[in-house]
Structure 1
Amino acid sequence: MAAVRQYAVLDTPPESTFDHITSLAAELFGTPVALISIVAEDRVWFKSRHGMPMAQTSRDAGLCASAILQKRAWLLSDASSDPRALAHPLVTGDFGLRFYLGVPLTTADGCSLGTLCVMDHKPRSITKRQIASLNSLAAIVMDQLELRNAGRQAAMALAEAAAAKDKALRLTTLMANEIDHRVMNSLQLVSGLLSMQSRTPSDDDVPTQLKQAAGRVSAIARVHQHIYLSEGIEHADVAQYLQRVCDDLSIMLQATNRGSIEVSGAEVKLPTARIVAIGLIINELVTNATKYGAGKVAVRFADTATGYTLSVSDEGDGPPPDEILKPARGFGMKVITSLVSQLRGDLSVGRKDDGTGTQVTIAFPREIALPHMP
């Protein structure tokens, strides 16, 4: 039955190729009836019928259901005296069958789909050569069925490939739009940073200011580079992303001990628009902690009952927490404050739980609509 479903031949329209075969079989044997039958679960359906008015019959009323159980030709020379068919409806009924010869239509893996058979209303005797001829015709039937099955499978594979191509095209278009969107946001972010820095009073000379500006533009590039390494387009895993950013910072800042920046975080996926802000905050805080702090720098991201928290701590004495939050601390803190504002978050600075070092913590809600950086 699985093979019958696989070949999908049941209830298909008549085809001249099969009709030619049944016509040839009837002529070869001189019988009034020749059939190509397919045996289904509850019926015997005729793909081609020569001299048979019915399109199908029940399994109980069809001899083909018995013929497919054989490996070779199934012959009833005189059904009226053959114990295998004495009580069969085709023999006892109005049809008056007396002669039946059927050979199974067998797939390459040995499953019988149905038969090629010839019938007559009177007894007949046949030769081995005639049986061989019917077997040859049955082989032609199977060749045609295999050809159609292969064509259908190829069409299905082609349809799947076309669907996959369409999906890839849609994904490519989505990625292109997303990249355009990210590039536009990045340019706006760069413009906002430069504009903010131009309004910040500083005693630094122009080269120093340009160097600082270039460093922050480079940070934006690094942040986006690590986003593109993520599997998704619109979302990224925060813990994996922070690990990549901090590994990059560890090398770039030439920390005394490789791995002195320790990262831990909950497995949470956030929209990439929020990831950009988080990455730039980490860039500023870790750079400051490495520059002004001491010992190991710890980066933590946590999923809490009220939202998310992001913290960066070091093991140094550092300035008092109230001094860090003063605007006079410099442009870096203004950048952090602006990014925290984008996240609709709260910024706090204090000591670690053990009373040592400096810890900066940002708490922000789960769902927000991020505006562009001013």
Structure 2
Amino acid sequence: MTMITPVELAPNESLRMNIVRRYSILDTPPDGAFDRVTAIAARLLGTPVAIVSIVDTDRIWFKSHHGLDAQQIPRDSGLCASAILQSGPWLVTDARHDPRTLANPLVAGEFGLQFYLGVPLHTHDGFNLGTLCVLDTQPRTVTQEQIDTLTDLASVVMDQLELRLSAMRSIAEKEAALNHSHLMAEEIDHRVMNSLHLIVSMLSIQSAQLGHSEAAKEISRAAAKIFAVANVHQHINIGKAATTLDSADYLVQLCAGLSTMLVCGDQVAISVQAVPLSLASEQLSQLGLIVNELVTNALKYGASKVKVQFAPYQDQCCLTVSDNGRGLPADFDVNKMSGLGMKVITSLVKNLGGSLSHERDTDLSGTAFRIIFPPMMSSRHPLS
């Protein structure tokens, strides 16, 4: 029975393993970039096998294995574990006559390894993750040029690992920044809602103190308007707890709040015609912002009737906001508008992956804005 000599560990092995984990490379799927390197290495050095290996605590895992079916081997039987203890290439030209490898099971066993050349995958901060190595079952010699070629290819492997690490860090930083912005937005929303409700409470108390006077009625009307503002704000900023919502119910409640907030008397009407589709709350939140901008703009420029329509359109969704206002100038172009409102609308439409168009409305004789976008929805209400 072949005896396996315990593998020598580097003095900084625990630190080295921390660096291995830093790259998050172990057990990742195959990658064409590494596979191309091993194919080139085998071709240039004329060997049947080439491997990109990462030396783990108890195994040698193969990120790429050209000419070999195995995905990993025990650490104590792999020559890569010895190669990472070197600062440069580790060469065995005839393993069956080399005292360093005589007892190795890959050499003495069925595989019959006789040639090995491994170049450490050296990080910028001085640690060896594994190797780029070439193997053969026949003894062979190599030139310095071939060793230099494998060394250069090992540097290409490290460049790929560094790029991968940089990309992961960039994504993590962006996700952290996005999460922070979401937390800040939620905090602002929370404070806005608290402030609005506080104002409503103070006005209600003041109205009650004034009894049935005309001033009390005006204060009550003001409190109702502010309460409506709070409701609209709450609908536009849907919380993360709701993953999907009924679009029809959402738009009806939103427009009811807008009507209370924006309309004085009975001379203005905001109507809603919506098919009950179940959409992602993220999409409905953006639709709410679009409806808020379009309805507010329509009333601002003299419309007395606004109609909000929402329905399936082929395999997509269609939101239409039309009014009976004075219409748009002949040369109107949403992409050339300097106003903040239209910039917000076009940005939201882009986020939805949709398109924005406008035309003269034949029913109300004003303007109709139309947004068509692909839905993100649950299976409760499929588009038909």
What TM-score do the two structures reach when normalised by structure 2? 0.50
Match for residue 174 of structure 1 among 170, 177, 190:
190
- Once residues 139 and 195 of structure 1 are traced to their aligned partners in structure 2, the CA distance between those partners, rounded to angstroms, is 84
Question: What does residue range 29-44 of structure 1 map to in structure 2 within 5 Å?
Answer: 29-44=45-60
Amino acid at match of 1:139: S
Write the distance in 2 (CA, Å) between the matches of 1:153 and 1:78.
Answer: 43
Structure 1 CA distance for aligned equivalents of residues 146 and 162 of structure 2: 24
Residue 149 of structure 1: how far off its partner (Å): 0.8
The equivalent position to 1:112 in structure 2, one of 114, 128, 139, is 128
Distance 2:109 2:165 in 1: 37
Letter in 2 for 1:46: F
Shift of 1:6: 1.0
Name the structure 1 match of 2:339.
none
In the TM superposition, what is the alpha-carbon distance from 1:13 to its structure 2 partner? 0.9
Q: Residue in 2 aligned with 1:208? A: none
For these two proteins, the number of residue pairs brought into alignment is: 197
In 1: Cα distance, 2:52 partner to 2:44 partner: 15
Equivalent positions of 1:74-153 (< 5 A) are 74-153=90-169
What SS does structure 2 have at the residue aligned with 1:69? coil
Amino acid at match of 2:62: F
Give the whole-Å Cα distance in 1 for the aligned partners of 2:85 and 2:195: 63
1:274-300 deviations in Å (ceiling 9; x for gaps): xxxxxxxxxxxxxxxxxxxxxxxxxxx
Q: What is the identity percentage for the equivalent residue pairs of Structure 1 and Structure 2? A: 50
The answer to whether 1:48 aligns with 2:87 is no
Paired with 2:103 and 2:184, the residues of 1 have a C-alpha distance of: 62
Structure 1 residue 194: Cα displacement: 5.5
Aligned pairs (5 A) from 1:232-311: none
**CA-CA distance at 1:129 after TM superposition:** 1.3
1:60 equivalent in alignment to 2:76: yes
The equivalent residue for 1:275 is none
Kindly state the Cα deviation for residue 113 of structure 1 after the two structures are TM-superposed: 0.9
Alignment-mate amino acid for residue 44 of structure 2: L
How well do the aligned residues superpose, as a CA RMSD in angstroms? Answer: 1.6
Following superposition, the deviation at residue 192 of structure 1 comes to 4.8
Unmatched tracts of structure 1, length 5 or more: 199-374
Q: What is the 5 A alignment of 1:3-18?
A: 3-18=19-34
Moved more, 108-117 or 154-163: 154-163
> Which of these residues, 34, 39, 58, is aligned with residue 23 of structure 1?
39
Residue-by-residue CA offset, 1:13-33 (whole Å, 9 max, x unaligned): 111111110010001110011
1:271-329 CA-partner distances (Å, limit 9, x unpaired): xxxxxxxxxxxxxxxxxxxxxxxxxxxxxxxxxxxxxxxxxxxxxxxxxxxxxxxxxxx
AA at the equivalent of 1:77: T
Provide the C-alpha distance between the structure 1 equivalents of 2:210 and 2:103, rounded to a whole number of angstroms. Answer: 98
Question: Does 1:183 pair with 2:187?
Answer: no
Residue type of the partner of 1:159? E
Deviations 1:44-101 (A, max 9, x none): 1100001111110010111111111110000111111111111001110011111100
Q: Which residue of 2 aligns with 1:300?
A: none
Shift, 1:195, TM fit: 5.8
Confirm or deny that 1:165 pairs with 2:185. Answer: no
SS in 2 for 1:124: coil
Q: What is aligned with 1:70? A: 86
Q: Deviations over 1:330-372 (max 9, x none)?
A: xxxxxxxxxxxxxxxxxxxxxxxxxxxxxxxxxxxxxxxxxxx
Structure 2 CA distance for aligned equivalents of residues 99 and 119 of structure 1:
5
TM-score, length of structure 1 as denominator length: 0.51
Structure 2: tracts of 5 or more residues without a match:
1-16, 214-384
Q: Tell me the distance in 2 between the aligned counterparts of 1:62 and 1:189.
A: 81
Q: Could you tell me how far 1:168 is from its partner in structure 2?
A: 1.3
How many angstroms apart in 2 are the aligned matches of 1:95 and 1:53?
A: 12
CA deviation map 1:221-258 (0-9, x unaligned): xxxxxxxxxxxxxxxxxxxxxxxxxxxxxxxxxxxxxx
SS in 2 for 1:170: helix
Task: Indicate the SS of the match to 1:36.
Answer: strand
